[in-house]
Structure 1
């Protein structure tokens, strides 16, 4: 095979030979976009170079998500922190930014997140975001995505310009929850309470849609008594469950789409003492607290989406876009995993 020349790469990348020389020899002075094109075309042409070692330009990736006081986001931030060392040789810096959500996400919070996102975007080369589908945020994110690469994580957003969505099929996750709920409750059926954090998180809305649709088609004797919303306040989950149990002590099931399992567990313990009855409980994300509740028999099943894999996949997608990694697909759907007490890792 003929040796690939600098001229070949320059022609394919539509840049000068001087630019190619600067990129391949790590001399700097080249824009990120031109560097990306040179590295991408060099790989495609099979250039015999170590293209992974210390690229000349520092890339700055920002992650914006809910505060890690929420256990799911804690798992994400730990994965992003771990990934920092993996991308040092590719000259990629990863910064983490949070918005408060543990006491509830208000309209004011949404406005503050929009302002924060715009400020962060001006200081970085790409972003990864996990946000609710609120109109002001969608407008802001679409504007950002028109200027820098943007990856949406865990809960999709209807953006025109996003680079990729990294997350599970949440409709399928909801249908999986309904299948488990219908089987666990059995032929006697009964009412089910669905507890959502915020329906404007696309992931939660899709889970509820999938859950409702499969119950109606396959387990009509099981039915949704109500859909309630905590605004991501974990304590509110227990209060809403207590209200539902006062109206319907023989509630057959609880499907929790978001946070608040500890407050749910406290309410269920008091209810079981009084009525000798415990609803079937299905939740999402195998956090440490849910692992314990699963092993204790408080939660009957947990549907997990592997936040660690999602975080690494999002970073790999951006790194590949900038030609700082080898061939990887853009947009990776992590698998849905169902955990019961018997297969829950300790």
Structure 2
């Protein structure tokens, strides 16, 4: 049985109220005494009663703001669904989660969302997929430094903000993984094309490409690389550009689809008759991509655990606010899942 507040008080020779104030950082406890109380609590594995905390705070619920970008994409829909499920669970502990969703990559809009959550909804914490620009970075650091609002980033990260932690894939390693797979399947011959839409303000896409190039373009490799940046990830736009590339590059042996728009790449490969001759690797464990794996159009899909990215940031923030539990690590990197048609039967 876990140790109780009364037992900690008896061991430390103080009152139960003193133990409660020390463990929940309520003040009015001498530092040496508070340190002793916390040491005993840690030694005996004391766990605060979240249900009790919820009852005591029912009249003043904790509010966590959540901002998600590119919410129209199938992958981010899975992230959103997981976050909403976690929000329903936390609601039983007097935690209210307020969502703000954007289909765009607009820094001004994101800053406006942050300001609205703070000024109108008085959030206690923020989980965010941040855009990579100085405007957003400055606003988030202002929340942390001036208002004391804890922040967890997920899916994308900003290295220069003072957030609690990051939940998501290590994108440099993800790109390097794709490069290693591409070198194997192409036998390091021909031309490889990377296809992405504009990754301005989106650090994850940029890091994927950087890792891919670092691993692919080694001094001993004979592969040629051509980078294609499209104005957007509309499937029709991606389809037309991919068809053109297939016509222009006769020795095209591999395509790395970095950003959404995967359906356009797959359709172009099928319609051109080159689906069996050009190796395709793309991201995101979504039903449409798994289907392309199964029918042999794609060689590999790189998964990154959308469910964990949606749920864990809220859980970490709730623990930080209610239970005073600092996240034990700065980076919660999700698995880099390499999926191929022989290991996806249970996912379809």
| TM-score normalised per structure 2 | 0.81
Between the aligned partners of 2:275 and 2:22, the Cα distance in structure 1 is 76
Deviation at 1:173, TM superposition (A): 0.6
Change (3 A) 1:67 1:235: same
| Aligned alpha-carbon RMSD (Å) | 2.9
| Structure-2 separation of matches of 1:227 and 1:51 | 54
Q: CA deviation at 1:309?
A: 1.2
In 2, Cα distance between equivalents of 1:304 and 1:218: 29
1:119-198 alignment to 2 at 5 Å?
119-122=116-119, 123=121, 124-146=123-145, 147=147, 148-187=149-188, 189-198=189-198
Question: In structure 2, do the counterparts of structure 1 residues 40 and 7 end up closer, same or farther at CA, with 3 Å as the change threshold?
Answer: closer
Q: Is contact 1:237-1:264 (8 Å) kept?
A: yes
- 1:181/1:253 contact within 8 Å kept: yes
* Residue 53 in structure 1 maps to residue 48 in structure 2: no
Counterpart of 1:23?
A: none
Structure 1 match to 2:68: 65
C-alpha separation between the residues in 1 aligned to 2:251 and 2:294?
Answer: 24
- CA 1:335–1:144 in structure 2 vs 1: closer, same or farther (change >3 Å)? same
Shift of 1:307: 0.9
**SS of equivalent residue, structure 1 residue 299:** coil
Matched residue pairs, number? Answer: 317
State whether structure 2 residue 103 is matched by structure 1 residue 96.
Answer: no
Gaps of 5+ in 2: 10-15, 30-36
Determine helix, strand or coil for the equivalent of 1:90.
coil
Residue 100 of structure 1: SS of its match in structure 2?
Answer: coil
Q: Give SS of 1:252's match.
A: strand
Structure 1 residues 87 and 324: CA distance shift in structure 2, 3 A: farther
Q: CA deviation at 1:8?
A: 3.6
Question: Do 1:52 and 1:325's aligned partners in 2 also have CA atoms closer than 8 Å?
Answer: no
Aligned-partner Cα distance in 1 for 2:66–2:102: 11
Tell me by how many angstroms 1:71 deviates.
0.6
Tell me which residue corresponds to 2:264. 263
- Contact 1:257–1:284, Cα closer than 8 Å, also in 2: yes
Which residue number in structure 1 is paired with residue 32 of structure 2? none
**Contact 2:256–2:281 (Cα < 8 Å) also in 1:** yes
Residue matched to 1:22? none
**Worse overlay, 74-83 or 136-145:** 136-145
Structure 2: distance between partners of 1:316 and 1:280: 39
Bigger shift: residues 142-151 or 8-17 = 8-17
Aligned equivalent of 1:15: 27
Cα distance, 1:234 vs structure 2: 4.2
Q: Which runs of 5+ in 1 are unaligned?
A: 18-38
Q: Does the residue aligned with 1:177 lie in a helix, a strand or coil? A: helix
Return the offset for 1:78.
Answer: 0.7
d(CA) in 2 for partners of 1:119, 1:327: 26
The alpha-carbon deviation at position 88 of structure 1 amounts to 2.5
Task: Tell me how far 1:169 sits from its aligned partner.
Answer: 1.2
CA distance in 1, matches of 2:335, 2:131: 22
Match of 1:118 among 102, 115, 119: 115
**Which string of whole-angstrom CA distances, capped at 9 and with x for unpartnered residues, describes residues 221-279 of structure 1?**
2231124244444443323323322321431111111101111112112211xx68642
> CA contact under 8 A between 1:250 and 1:277: conserved in structure 2?
no
Deviates more, 1:285-294 or 1:141-150: 141-150
Q: Which residue does 2:13 correspond to in 1?
A: none
Bigger drift between 276-285 and 314-323 goes to 276-285
For residues 222 and 49 of structure 1, what CA distance do their matches in structure 2 show? 56
TM-score normalized by the length of structure 1: 0.82
